[in-house]
Structure 1
Amino acid sequence: MTAAPPQTFRRRFVRESHVTIAHGGGGSAMRDLIDQVFTSVFQPPGNEDQARLMTAALQEPGARLAFTTDSFVVTPLEFPGGDIGKLAVCGTVNDLAVGGARPLWLSAAFVIEEGCEIALLRRIVATMAHEAERAGVRIVTGDTKVVERGKGDGVFITTAGIGVIPPGIDIGAAKIRPGDVAIVNGVLGDHGAAILAARGDLALSTDLQSDCAALGHLMQAALTAAPGITAARDCTRGGLASALNEMAAEAGLAVEVEETRLPLRPEVVGVCEILGLDPLYLANEGRLVVFCPPDQAEAALAAMHAMPEGAGAAIIGRAQAGQPGRVTLRTAFGGARIVDMLVGEQLPRIC
């Protein structure tokens, strides 16, 4: 008897325009959604419940793994300059990069609300794939869950990232020394201001776009030009002010910032004046602050200026002996004010 040829199973095309509860039920509808919306774009290595990864970079003596995780919620899901998918990739890449790591792999888990447009999901996934390619990372594993209508906010994304810290790189806020110069890689507050305007609640008219960007390549260029960099941190929720406060506290030093050196767009300053906000606390998604010895500051600055993500880089202040954890702003009028940690939240659902 001739054996019957093996059956070939073909996935059905996702014809629904919106996500339904069936798409989270573990059956064929879920498999079709995963195959056609996610894995067909991300193309992970293999189809198992885990990614199996190798890199020669870990064979170098002294190399270390860096690992981070983050969740992303933003309203609206799409905004000028990006969407929640771009936030998820760039935010996770940046958390690795500021530790001196070369980002390599990401995971992505989606919590999707029933009724979410599948076309929107496709746009978010396409953005993630594009940003991952630009950043030199791969999205290698993930998960999807569907929650009932009204129990989510369209889409939530949780990402984890793995990178490799090369031998000889050992940076962190505790290593900042008195005299170290503080550098930011561009204008501040664009992301927070753009999100606020995009929500439409306050009838603000502006052409501002989010600064969302992956900074792995920029950080590597800065480390090459200025190997004495002592610390770096991305200025996300809580903005530059919170990042500096955290770093000053960990270093046990004071930090003074020059108001006249802060790179701020007039539009951002104007939005903040109208709404009574402080631009130093506005969230950024493509901005970091780096500390380095003063004799390497110009080299670090030049390396940043050579890249699109660092075109607006500026020296803004320095670390100094003083009350541990205190951050002060030297104003344009010659006075000084304390820049404290953000209390509460200026703008919720921002990243």
Structure 2
Amino acid sequence: MSWLAIANCLLDKVQRFRIILMPKISVIVPCYFNEGNIPVTVPGLVANEANFPAGTEFEYVFVDDGSRDLTLQALLEARAQYPDRIKVIELVGNVGSYNAIVAGIAHATGDCMSVITADMQDPPELMVQMFDYWQQGFKLVIGNRQDREETGLAKIFAETFHWLMKHLALNNIPDGGFDFVFFDRQVADEVVKMHERNSNVFYLMVWLGYTYINIPYVRRKREIGKSRWTLQKKIKLFIDSLLSFSYFPIRAISVVGLLLGVVALVYGLYIIGLKVFDPHGPAGWTTLMVVVLFVSAFQMIALGVIGEYVWRGLDASRSRPLYVVKNKYGIGSENNKLY
């Protein structure tokens, strides 16, 4: 065995030994119009450190996703209070929470990481149990929503969305949906490396194929501020998630097209039969127009679905950055600003 191989082996053992004794946890928090949440969220996360084993190191990577309120100011005030723990990334514009999460992952330095929302709807104390599973060797731990304190259309939409995704795209995701995860550095590196566009970063983690364990919990009701998760963003997320992980829409078009072809053939034979046996029969204008309009509508829908796939391919081929970093606070300048 060469000296280089021996050195690499020793370095690997030292690294594993350091992780076992003094692991570093990076907590990534995407922020968008959260100026009222930050003064509550930061102390809550810091207080939660007491539940972890002694020697565990923490860093909190807050990503301001183009907020136009005082979120950045609140984050900088929190950083002034905890300069050794808090890092802040200010993005040039709003790129969506999932791209903001990728930005946080790319700048995090922990041995393991967690993603949690800034509104504290997900219980940070659950992170302790997630950390225990990570120490047991699980690369991915998911906190899935067994139920939620929210009511009305928001709850119905969320439950429908996750049910459809589970049955049409990824059948190995847990029930109830999730966006509270704890994962290994290896998973983080793979997610950043994929540079996936118009997708769902949490589903990507499951898609990678690592064995995961899920912990059910009840999601809390938002107490501070107003959610910016609009219906338009929800619909886009559903389309992005479905098209990223499923060929169902294309296959559905093929099946419906085949069925329409069979119906058209039968109807054509029927029309020919009428013409042969009853040349003076009704012209069938109404029936003809209904068929034409129905088939035309299906063709437009089919073109729209195909267009969604084509547009995503074009968007990926441009290789534009997922986000642009405007300023970084508490983070070295060795990271590029374009991703």
- TM-score range, shorter-chain basis? under 0.3
User: Is the radius of gyration larger for structure 1 or structure 2?
Assistant: 2
- Structure number with higher helix proportion: 2
TM-score, length of structure 2 as denominator length: 0.27
- Structure number with higher strand proportion: 1
TM-score, length of structure 1 as denominator length: 0.27
